[in-house]
Amino acid sequence: MARRKKRVDHDNHDRWLISYADFVTLLFAFFVVMYSISSVNEGKYKVFSDSLSIAFTNQPKTSSDIQMLSPEEQKLRALVDRRTARLGEQQRKIQERMKKLAGNLNQVMASMVRQGQVNIVQTRRGVVLDISASALFGVGEATLQPASVGVLKQVAAVLAQEEDAIEVEGHTDDIPIATAQFPSNWELSSARASSVVRLLIDNGVPAKRLTVVGLASNQPLAPNNNPENRAKNRRVTITIVSPDVERVGAPGNGATGGAAP
């Protein structure tokens, strides 16, 4: 009996067209969706842009410009203008309050400022006090010296009247320390910051407003290449942090107190 010949199946070389067509369709749908969500309401965008221009240039639009807007755009613009004005007023009040706080701290620490032991500045973050460690502690110690306690109590009395968060940072120079109490500068800087915080709490500053940070020698004010610079780097920094609204668009940093040499 003759064997039946096997049928030879020919490969279909056009099957890739189906996958390709599906890919093109999906790609087209993707671009349609992207275009639809990227369309901008030009009227609302113009109102927002004009309001920002008024806020930063203090040049009000003329009545003819306002009349060119649709009623919906005029309503939206009025809303944006009110919010911009309210934000500007809040920023102004915070700036005035922080400036007054810096002035009060300058008064109670006037003697230390004159001696170059304290530097008080007002920055975007708030009011910053850099206090020389030599004015607060003995060498390699974290116990406040009696001469500094009285001044710090006056500082606490000023800060107790505020509501802002307070950060207290301890800083050292790069000379290692290895004692039973302080195995490294990390422990020393943390202990010094904690001593200042305990005094503030004991004199009326709520503990929930305070944060303690020990930074050792990792944030120097000057290179640790001579005794004078090392003395500048050994310090305790107290920062009275401004509310968030002040950090959004505050003016540039400005010194409000005597600068340490």
CATH of the domain at 143: 3.30.1330.60
pLDDT recorded at residue 158 = 95
Residue 9 lies in a domain: no
At residue 82, the pLDDT reads 72
Tell me what pLDDT residue 93 has. 83
Average pLDDT over residues 219-239: 95
pLDDT interval class at 26 (50, 70, 90): confident
Q: Is the pLDDT of residue 245 over 80?
A: no
Pair (171, 245) in one structural domain: yes
Compute the average pLDDT of residues 120-145: 94
| Residue 22 placed within a domain | yes
Tell me: do 197 and 234 sit in the same domain. Answer: yes
Query: What mean pLDDT is reported for the chain?
Result: 80
Domain boundary among 7, 35, 69: 69
What span, in angstroms and rounded, lies between the C-alpha atoms of 75 and 261? 55
> What pLDDT, on a 0 to 100 scale, did the predictor assign at position 254?
39
The pLDDT value recorded for residue 150 is 93
d(CA 176, CA 20): 68
Task: Please give the share of the chain, as a percent, with pLDDT higher than 70.
Answer: 70
Do 23 and 129 sit in the same domain of this protein? no
Residues 167 and 203 reside in one and the same domain: yes
Statement: residue 52 has pLDDT above 70: no
pLDDT top residue among 203 and 253 = 203
| Whether residues 99 and 220 fall in one domain | yes
CA-CA distances (angstroms) from residue 170 to 29, 142, 204, 234, 259? 59, 10, 21, 8, 19
Residue 98 shares a structural domain with residue 45: no
- Higher pLDDT: 6 or 164? It is 164
Question: Does residue 152 sit within a domain?
Answer: yes
Residue 81 within a domain: no
Average pLDDT over residues 29-53: 65
Would 5 be classed as within a structural domain? Answer: no
Instruction: Give the chain's end-to-end CA distance (angstroms, integer).
Output: 115
Does residue 243 form part of some domain?
yes
For residues 112 and 257, the answer to whether their CB atoms sit within 8 Å is: no
**Could you give the number of structural domains in the chain?**
2
Residue 260: per-residue pLDDT: 33
Whether the predicted pLDDT of 253 surpasses 50: no
Residues 128 and 202 in one domain: yes
Q: What pLDDT is attached to residue 213?
A: 96
Residues 43 and 108 in one domain: no
Instruction: Write the pLDDT tens digit of every residue in 78-128.
Output: 677 777 777 777 788 888 888 999 999 999 999 999 999 999 999 888 999
pLDDT value at 192 more than 90: yes
260 within domain boundaries: no
Q: What is the pLDDT of residue 112?
A: 92
Percent of the chain surpassing pLDDT 90: 53
Give 237's pLDDT tier (boundaries 50, 70, 90): very high
Whether residue 201 lies inside any domain: the answer is yes
Q: Do 63 and 97 share a structural domain?
A: no
Residues 144 and 237 both lie in one domain: yes
**Is the Cα dihedral 109, 113, 118, 119 positive or negative?**
positive
- pLDDT over threshold 60, residue 255: no
- Domain match, 103 and 217 both: yes
The residue range of the domain holding 221 is 93-255
For residue 251, what pLDDT band results from cuts at 50, 70 and 90?
Answer: very low
Order of strands, sheet of 166-171, starting from the edge strand that comes earlier in the sequence: 210-214, 166-171, 235-241, 126-132, 118-122, 254-255
Q: Are residues 26 and 116 in the same domain?
A: no
